[in-house]
Amino acid sequence: MILHPLGDRAFLAVFFRESEAVAWASAVRERALPEVADVVVAYEKVAVFAGPDALDLDALEGALRSIRAIEGAPDASRLLVVPVLYDGEDLAFVAEALGLSIDDVIACHQATEYVVQAIGFLPGFPYAGALPDTLRGLARRASPRVRVPAGSVAIAGRQTCIYPRESPGGWHLLGRTPCSIVDLEAGHFACAVGDRLRFERIDRDASEAMRGRRLVALADAGTARDRVV
Amino acid sequence: MSAGLLVVRPGLATTVQDGGRRGHRAQGVPTGGAFDRSSLALANALVGNPADAAGLEMTLLGGAFEATAPMAVALAGAPMEATIVERGVARPVRVPGSFHLAQGARLELGGTTSGARTYLAVRGGLQTNLVLGSRSSEERLTVGTFLPAPCTDGFSVRFLHSSVYTIDLLFAIMSGLDAIDESFWDRADLRVSARSDRMGIRLEGPVPSVSFESERRSVPVGPGAIQVTESGLIVLGVAGGTMGGYPIVGHVIAAELDRVGQARPGQGLCFVLVDREKARRLDQTRREDQRRLLSRVAAAVGDAGALALCGPAPRE
C-alpha cells in the first residue's frame, strides 16, 4: 500500500488490486477510529477523510499505516440481484453498434456477474464492471440526455450502472429496474463498493408488481428469491 | 401560524445549511453544510446556539424574511446591507450582530459589500427536515417557503463592534496527486468565474499542463481539491461530487477552506504552496483563533443566552 496525502486532512491509499482496496477499507471501518469521518473506495484506491474535530493527524496516519487487511473473506461480498425490464431507448442503437441482436445484448448483459467498483456522480450511483467483451467499448453519448429516468440501467465503456433517480446522463440505456436502490430520507443505499451485482430480466407485469420496492443485497448468493422486501 | 421565518424574497441562492452530513461520502453523498463554517458558527454563537445549528446561507444577494413569532436572529460572514422593518419603521442593523425580530417584523437584506456569503442564524436553529442527520440542503429557497424555528422573547441587540472583516485572496495550498510545474502558481493570473457555486469555485485563466492518461479512472475527491478541466481550474466546494475524473493539481488547506466560500466572482486570487507541517500549524492557529472568538461571543451573549425559549425546545 502507498499512502498519499490528500490535502492536510485526508489520505489516499493506493493498492494493486481492487479487492485489496475493498478489504483494507472494511478493516479501517472496523477499527472505528474516532478521527475518521469517511472512508471512500474507488477501484484500487481508498480515501480516508479526517473529521472536522480530529486533531492528531500524525497519529491517524500511523494507525492507517498499521492496518492490514485480510483479503477475500468469503462472506465479505454481498450479492444484489436487480430485476430489469429491458425496454431501454438505446437497445437498438447498442445492438447495431456492437453488431449483435437486441436479444443478444440483453442475454449478455444479464449473464454476467459484475462488481461495484465505485459509487459517485449521484448518491448511490454504482459504477460496476466489467462488461463482457461483446458489450464493451461504447463511448458515452456525445451529448448527454437532459433527463434519464430513475432506475435506468445503462452501459458505457467497460461498465454498467443504475441511475438511482432521474438525472442528466450520457450512458446508453438498456432498461429500467422498477425497484428503488436509494432512499435518502430513510438512509437506504442498496449497494456498496465490493458488492456483486447481477441483472435479471423481468416482463412488464412483474415490473408493475415490483414498482417502488426497496432493493436489498443478499449476504448469501444462493437465495435470489428474497431479493426484494 | 407556527413560529418561524416566512420567505418573502429568497435572494440569489439562499439555502439552509448546518455542519453538514458526515460518514456518507462512500455512498456518493457530499458532506455539504455551510461553505464558510466559521461564519455560520459565529452567527450561531451570537444567538447562543451550538456552532453547527441550521441557519441560512445567503450568496451575494440576501432575501427578505418575515418572523411569524418573536425571535432572536443573528447575521455573520460577508458584510451585507440589512434592515429590520417593523410597523412601517425601518432601522438598519450591522453584520456581524444579533437582534430581536417582533412578530410580523421583516428582515430585509441587500447585497454583500465584500465577500460572497452571509449567514443568518435563529436562536434555537432552523427546524427544517433532517436527512441523513443534517438539515443541509442544495435546494434554493423560493417565495413562500416557511422555515420553522423556535420563538424567543426578550433577546437584546448585540453587535460585535471589534470584528473587522477582511478578505485575503491569497490561499495556501498543498500539491496534488498530479504533478505540475510548481512555478505555475506564481505566474497564473486567476479570476473567480460567475459560474461558481457551492459545488465548485471555477477559475478563469490559464491551466497548468498536466498529463492526461487515456483511460483515467475517477478518484475520491473532497472539498478544496483543485481540478484541471479543459475550461479552467475548479476548486471543489462543500457540495462538490465525491468522485472526480479530472487531474488534481492541488488542495486548498483546511485552515483556508472557509475563505474559499467568500471568493466573489470577478475577484483575482493567488495560491501559494505550503508543506503539510505548515498546513497543520495554520490549521492549529485558526482553530485557536476561532475558539477564542466564540468564547468571547458566548461570554457577551451571556444572560441572553440563558433566556428560556417560548416555543417548543430545539431538537438539537
Residues of B in contact with A185 (CB under 8 A): 129, 131
Per-residue pLDDT of chain A (229 residues; tens, 9 = 90+): 999 999 999 999 999 999 999 999 999 999 999 999 999 999 999 999 999 989 899 999 999 999 988 765 545 579 999 999 999 999 999 999 999 999 999 999 999 999 999 999 899 999 999 999 999 989 888 888 999 999 999 999 999 999 999 999 999 999 999 999 999 999 999 999 999 999 999 999 999 999 999 998 886 544 444 444 3
* Residue B231 CB coordination number (10 Å): 11
From the list B20, B127, B123, B17, the residue with the least C-alpha distance to B77 is: B17
Between chains, do B29 and A9 touch, taking CB under 8 Å as contact? no
Between chains, do A38 and B23 touch, taking CB under 8 Å as contact? yes
Q: Which helix (H) or strand (E) holds B282?
A: helix B276-305
> What pLDDT was estimated at residue B312?
37
CA–chain centroid gap for A71, Å, is 19
* Residue B25 CB coordination number (10 Å): 25
Residue A14: burial class (beta carbons within 10 Å; 0-12, 13-18, 19+): middle
Confirm if B310 and B153 have CB atoms less than 8 A apart. Answer: yes
> What pLDDT was estimated at residue B53?
97
Per-residue pLDDT of B134-182, as tens digits, reads 999 999 999 999 999 998 876 666 666 555 566 678 999 999 999 899 9
Separation of alpha carbons A144 and A152, rounded Å: 14
Least CB–CB distance from A10: residue in B23, B37, B222 = B222
pTM score, whole prediction: 0.90
> What pLDDT was estimated at residue B311?
35
Q: Quick one: cell of B164?
A: 473587522
Residue B293: burial class (beta carbons within 10 Å; 0-12, 13-18, 19+): middle
Separation of alpha carbons B99 and B110, rounded Å: 17
Angle CA B224–B229–B233, to nearest 5: 45
Between chains, do A123 and B29 touch, taking CB under 8 Å as contact? yes
Read out DSSP for B20-61?
A: ---S-GGGT----S-SSHHHHHHHHHHTT--TT--EEEEESB
The C-alpha cell 465503456 sits at A157
> Cα separations (Å) of B217 from A18, A33, A142, A150, A226?
12, 28, 19, 25, 34
Per-residue pLDDT of B241-292, as tens digits, reads 999 888 999 999 999 999 999 999 999 999 999 999 999 999 999 999 999 9
Separation of alpha carbons A54 and A32, rounded Å: 13
Per-residue pLDDT of B38-82, as tens digits, reads 999 999 999 999 999 999 999 999 999 999 999 999 999 999 999
Number of Cβ pairs closer than 8 Å across A and B? 105
Burial A129-150 (b: 16+ CB within 10 A, else e): bebeebbeebeebeeebeebeb
Kindly report the length of chain A. 229
CA–chain centroid gap for A155, Å, is 13
State which residue of chain B sits closest to A123, comparing Cα positions.
Answer: B28
Per-residue pLDDT of B26-36, as tens digits, reads 999 999 999 99
Separation of alpha carbons B70 and B107, rounded Å: 12
> What pLDDT was estimated at residue A228?
44
CB-based contacts of B214: which residues, under 8 Å, 6+ apart?
Answer: none
Separation of alpha carbons A128 and A122, rounded Å: 14
From the list A108, A125, A221, A194, the residue with the least C-alpha distance to A166 is: A125
Question: Which residues of B lie inside 8 Å of A (Cβ-Cβ)?
Answer: 19, 22-29, 31, 37, 129, 131-132, 174, 177, 217-222, 224-225, 241-243, 251-254, 276, 279-280, 283
Confirm if B101 and B4 have CB atoms less than 8 A apart. Answer: no
Separation of alpha carbons B194 and B264, rounded Å: 8
CB-based contacts of A219: which residues, under 8 Å, 6+ apart?
Answer: A75, A78
